[in-house]
């Protein structure tokens, strides 16, 4: 019991009616009401629980969906511009079932996932060692940084004609395009991650007798890993952007192709179905990596 | 000097200048410092922030090179970092991705003079020595700043260095933790017989820990005075010594010197700002 705790209810009644209001007022002033969830949400840099964040996220999605239902239900927007949610769901079902087309939409999703997967894996596999070497050796940085920086600023769509001329319209040219779009961004991000490893960590390693190879493997790599995983997650999102560009320009399969061919017949429900699919894949993969991040790097908290 | 045994660490006429920009003249950081340190001594470099004391310690550690002069350890010139010279930093001193015991094991990882069983024994020994038994599995972000510095000390000792270089290792700790760790370091120093160079700007810490204190001037660093604490205080010290008359007198005398220096540094800084 602390010194300024309120007196027990029995003693305050015993003290008589005259003295009762005074302690009650003091009590009301000394204990601030707990801030409500709403107050926490709107206060500057306030804090809430993860559950509340989730509810807000769901509510935001639900509101968007409600707006969509209303806009199509009351025909604020014509159907050829904005398909109704139900129409999109029905069309998506047809797509997956393979109604009126030669193959199921699953196959298109699979080929898109394959393209993103291969291109991104190749980007990461090359960007991680090169980025780390750029941060470690001036000579590697000196040679690669100007080239990387130059290519990084080239708009990927502008390179589509080149990839087609060099590599044709097969899988290779699409994967190459995605690779160009992500590798040159990723390598600089990784180099920065490695550079941000505190100098102290490296020096501790060197005064423990570690050779540069061991410092890279046992200190720099684990130290930079959390921020590297974050950067991989962000770049994976860009990879999806470039995928649609690659599939729209020259392709006969993939989510982008389905969207593009639907445009020709103004099937806006198919377009929305395709866009929604990409959104959901992006959301799921992003959340999955975040979840892994929290699990792997629990020691940071 | 013929006849006299050579010192364990010999800092011989070391000077250091930095050149941030080729268009500006180099800035002198250390000006012709010579110090001889015997084996098993705890020597404190005391001076105002940014005076170059850390730089001199890093030159001893082989993490930086001297512009002029050289450092000899056990008769050999220092040419780079090695396991012989262990470092304890003020921050980022232990690895967050490893737990307490793995951080200490890291110090043993690159030793080829002992086998695996001996490494494990040593890891436990140093865990005990710094009083972290029971915290083996804790990640360092979950333990206090003082415990983190103890992890760093244990890990550095585990690497088996001859020289321990400590760069304001207790600078970020609260007063209670600092007192406690200072006392612990004194115990460790006597049980492990390491030669320690300890950098600090805290006069009380310097007097409590040091066999000898080298008071550094403002930049460019020179040695203003050498204070032989070991002549007035016993080798074995407890916190009670901080309340003794001898301690007070010594501390106040050194504070007088450092205050005058701090004022001068400020004037130099002001002068630099005014002229730029």
Rounded Cα–Cα distance for residues B235 and B21 (Å): 46
> First vs last Cα of chain A: how many Å apart?
33
Q: Mark which residues 118-177 of B lie under 8 Å from A by CB.
A: 139, 141-142, 155-156, 159, 161
Q: pLDDT-based confidence at A14, cuts 50/70/90?
A: very low
Note whether A209 contacts B82, CB cutoff 8 Å.
yes
Note whether B106 contacts A218, CB cutoff 8 Å.
yes
Length reported for chain A: 301
The percent of residues in chain A predicted with pLDDT above 90, rounded, is: 41
Question: Looking at residue B276, what is its pLDDT?
Answer: 47
SS3 of residue A128 by DSSP: helix
Note whether B97 contacts A206, CB cutoff 8 Å.
no
Q: Which of A196, A205, A209, A301 to mutate to test the interface with B (most CBs of B within 10 A)?
A: A209
Q: What is the ipTM of this complex?
A: 0.88
* A207 CB-near residues (< 8 Å, 6+ apart): B61, B63, B81, B82, B83, B85, B86, B87, B156, B159, B161
The verdict on whether omega for the bond into residue B63 sits within 30 degrees of 0, i.e. cis, is: no
Query: Sign of torsion, CA A176 A177 A182 A183?
Result: positive
For residue A280, being part of any structural domain is answered with yes
For residue A168, being part of any structural domain is answered with yes
CA-based nearest distance B41→chain A, Å: 20
Rounded Cα–Cα distance for residues A124 and A95 (Å): 33
User: Does the CB of B95 have a partner CB in chain A at under 8 Å?
Assistant: yes
Residue A206, pLDDT > 70, answer yes
Give the lowest-confidence range in A12-21, A137-146, A257-266, B217-226. A12-21
Backbone angles phi, psi at B193, to 5 degrees: 50, 45
Question: Looking at residue A50, what is its pLDDT?
Answer: 82
Determine if residue A209 is left, alpha or beta; phi over 0 gives left, psi from -120 to 50 gives alpha, anything else beta: left
Q: pLDDT-based confidence at A156, cuts 50/70/90?
A: confident
For residue A30, being part of any structural domain is answered with no
Rounded Cα–Cα distance for residues A221 and A193 (Å): 10
User: Does the CB of B63 have a partner CB in chain A at under 8 Å?
Assistant: yes
User: Does the CB of A172 have a partner CB in chain B at under 8 Å?
Assistant: no
Question: Looking at residue B275, what is its pLDDT?
Answer: 53
Residues of B in contact with A198 (CB under 8 A): 91-92
Query: Long-range contacts made by residues A16-25, C-beta under 8 angstroms, separation at least 24?
Result: none
Q: Chain A residue closest to B91 (CA)?
A: A200
The percent of residues in chain A predicted with pLDDT above 70, rounded, is: 88
Note whether A209 contacts B110, CB cutoff 8 Å.
yes
Residue A1, pLDDT > 50, answer no
Question: Looking at residue B272, what is its pLDDT?
Answer: 62
Residue A10, pLDDT > 80, answer no
Question: Looking at residue B21, what is its pLDDT?
Answer: 82
* Alpha-carbon distance values, B213 to A193, B200, B204 (Å): 40, 10, 11
- Answer whether B213's CB lies under 8 Å from B44's CB: yes
| Nearest alpha-carbon partner for A259 in A246, A245, A271 | A271
- Answer whether A263's CB lies under 8 Å from A251's CB: no
For residue A216, being part of any structural domain is answered with yes
CA-based nearest distance B110→chain A, Å: 6
Note whether B159 contacts A209, CB cutoff 8 Å.
yes
Tens digit of pLDDT per residue, chain B (276 long)?
Answer: 455 678 899 999 999 998 878 888 888 999 999 999 999 999 999 988 778 899 999 999 999 999 999 999 998 999 999 999 999 998 888 999 999 999 999 999 999 899 999 999 999 999 998 989 999 999 999 999 999 999 999 999 999 999 999 999 998 888 888 988 998 898 888 888 899 999 999 999 999 999 999 999 888 888 999 999 888 888 888 888 888 888 888 999 999 888 887 777 677 667 666 554
Q: How would you classify the pairing of strands B223-228 and B212-216?
A: antiparallel
Residues of A in contact with B97 (CB under 8 A): 222-223, 225, 297, 299
For residue A41, being part of any structural domain is answered with no
Question: Looking at residue B243, what is its pLDDT?
Answer: 84
Domain ranges of chain B: 1-84+164-276, 88-160
In the numeric block, the tokens 């730089």 are attached to B55
Q: Six-digit token pair at A73?
A: 């239900």
Rounded Cα–Cα distance for residues A35 and B152 (Å): 41
Residues of B in contact with A215 (CB under 8 A): none
Q: pLDDT-based confidence at A6, cuts 50/70/90?
A: very low
CA-based nearest distance A221→chain B, Å: 11
Q: Chain B residue closest to A220 (CA)?
A: B95
Residues of A in contact with B83 (CB under 8 A): 207-209
Q: pLDDT-based confidence at A158, cuts 50/70/90?
A: confident
Residue A235, pLDDT > 90, answer yes
CA-based nearest distance B88→chain A, Å: 8
Q: Mark which residues 225-284 of A lie under 8 Å from B by CB.
A: 225
Q: Which residue has the higher pLDDT, A44 or A189?
A: A189
Residue A256, pLDDT > 50, answer yes
CA-based nearest distance A215→chain B, Å: 11
Question: Looking at residue B50, what is its pLDDT?
Answer: 77
A196: domain CATH number is 1.10.3720.10
Question: Looking at residue A60, what is its pLDDT?
Answer: 93
Note whether B109 contacts A219, CB cutoff 8 Å.
no
Q: Chain A residue closest to B86 (CA)?
A: A207
Question: Looking at residue A27, what is its pLDDT?
Answer: 52
* Alpha-carbon distance values, A198 to A187, A210, A211, B62, B103 (Å): 20, 16, 17, 18, 16
Residues of B in contact with A295 (CB under 8 A): none
CA-based nearest distance B252→chain A, Å: 34
Domain tally, chain A? 1
CA-based nearest distance A207→chain B, Å: 5
Q: Which of B60, B61, B63, B81 to mutate to test the interface with A (most CBs of A within 10 A)?
A: B81
Percentages helix, strand, coil for chain B (3-state, rounded to 5) are: 40, 25, 35
Note whether B83 contacts A208, CB cutoff 8 Å.
yes
- Answer whether B122's CB lies under 8 Å from B114's CB: yes
Backbone angles phi, psi at A278, to 5 degrees: -60, -45
Range of the domain at A185: 93-300
CATH topology for the B1-84+164-276 domain: Rossmann fold (3.40.50)
CA-based nearest distance B97→chain A, Å: 6
User: Does the CB of A207 have a partner CB in chain B at under 8 Å?
Assistant: yes
For residue A246, being part of any structural domain is answered with yes
User: Does the CB of B97 have a partner CB in chain A at under 8 Å?
Assistant: yes
Length reported for chain B: 276
H helix or E strand, kind and range, residue A166: helix A160-167
Tell me: the pLDDT tens digits for A106-134? 889 999 999 999 999 999 999 999 999 99
Average pLDDT estimate for A279-290: 91
Tell me: the pLDDT tens digits for A66-95? 999 999 888 888 887 888 888 888 888 888
């Amino acid at each position: 019991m602390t010194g300024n705790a309120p007196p027990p209810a029995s003693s305050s009644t015993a003290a008589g009616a005259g003295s009762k209001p005074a302690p009650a007022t003091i009590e009301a002033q000394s204990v601030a009401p707990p801030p409500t969830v709403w107050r926490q949400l709107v206060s500057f840099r306030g804090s809430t629980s993860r559950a509340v964040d989730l509810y807000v996220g769901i509510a935001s999605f639900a509101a968007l969906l409600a707006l969509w239902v209303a806009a199509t239900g009351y025909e604020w927007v014509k159907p050829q511009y904005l398909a109704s949610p139900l129409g999109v769901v029905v069309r998506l079902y047809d797509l997956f079932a393979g109604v009126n087309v030669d193959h199921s939409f699953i196959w298109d999703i699979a080929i898109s996932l394959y393209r993103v997967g291969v291109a991104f894996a190749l980007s990461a596999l090359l960007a991680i060692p090169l980025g780390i070497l750029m941060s470690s050796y001036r000579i590697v940085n000196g040679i690669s940084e100007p080239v990387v920086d130059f290519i990084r600023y080239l708009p990927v769509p502008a390179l589509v004609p080149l990839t087609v001329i060099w590599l044709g319209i097969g899988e290779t040219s699409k994967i190459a395009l995605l690779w160009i779009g992500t590798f040159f961004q990723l390598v600089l991000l990784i180099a920065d991650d490695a550079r941000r490893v505190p100098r102290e960590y490296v020096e501790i390693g060197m005064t423990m007798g570690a050779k540069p190879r061991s410092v890279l493997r046992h200190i720099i790599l684990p130290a930079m890993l959390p921020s590297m995983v974050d950067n991989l997650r962000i770049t994976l999102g860009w990879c999806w952007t470039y995928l649609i560009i690659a599939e729209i320009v020259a392709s006969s399969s993939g989510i982008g192709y389905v969207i593009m061919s639907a445009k020709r017949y103004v099937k806006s429900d198919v377009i929305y179905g395709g866009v929604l699919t990409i959104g959901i894949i992006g959301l799921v993969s992003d959340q999955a990596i975040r979840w892994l991040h929290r699990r792997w790097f629990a020691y940071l908290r | 000097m013929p006849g006299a045994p050579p010192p364990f660490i010999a800092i011989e006429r070391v000077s250091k200048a930095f050149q941030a920009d080729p268009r500006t003249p180099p800035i002198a950081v250390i000006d012709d410092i010579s110090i001889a340190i015997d084996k098993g001594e705890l020597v404190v470099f005391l001076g105002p922030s940014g005076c170059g004391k850390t730089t001199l310690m890093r030159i001893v550690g082989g993490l930086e090179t001297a512009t002029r002069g050289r450092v000899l350890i056990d008769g050999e010139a220092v040419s780079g970092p090695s396991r012989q010279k262990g470092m304890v930093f003020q921050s980022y001193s232990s690895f967050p991705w490893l737990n307490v015991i793995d951080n200490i094991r890291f110090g043993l990882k690159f030793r080829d003079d002992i086998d695996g069983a001996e490494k494990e024994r040593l890891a436990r020994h140093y865990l005990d020595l710094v009083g972290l038994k029971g915290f083996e599995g804790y990640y360092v972000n979950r333990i206090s700043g003082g415990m983190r510095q103890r992890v760093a000390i244990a890990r550095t000792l585990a690497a088996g260095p001859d020289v321990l270089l400590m760069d304001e290792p207790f600078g970020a700790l609260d007063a209670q933790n600092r007192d406690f760790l200072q006392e612990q370091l004194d115990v460790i120093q006597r049980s492990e017989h390491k030669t320690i160079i300890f950098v600090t700007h805290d006069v009380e810490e310097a007097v409590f820990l040091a066999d000898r204190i080298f008071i550094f001037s403002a930049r460019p660093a020179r040695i203003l005075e050498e204070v032989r604490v070991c002549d007035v205080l016993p080798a074995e010290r407890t916190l009670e010594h901080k309340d003794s008359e001898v301690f007070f007198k010594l501390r106040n005398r050194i504070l007088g010197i450092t205050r005058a220096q701090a004022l001068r540094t400020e004037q130099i800084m002001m002068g630099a700002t005014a002229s730029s």
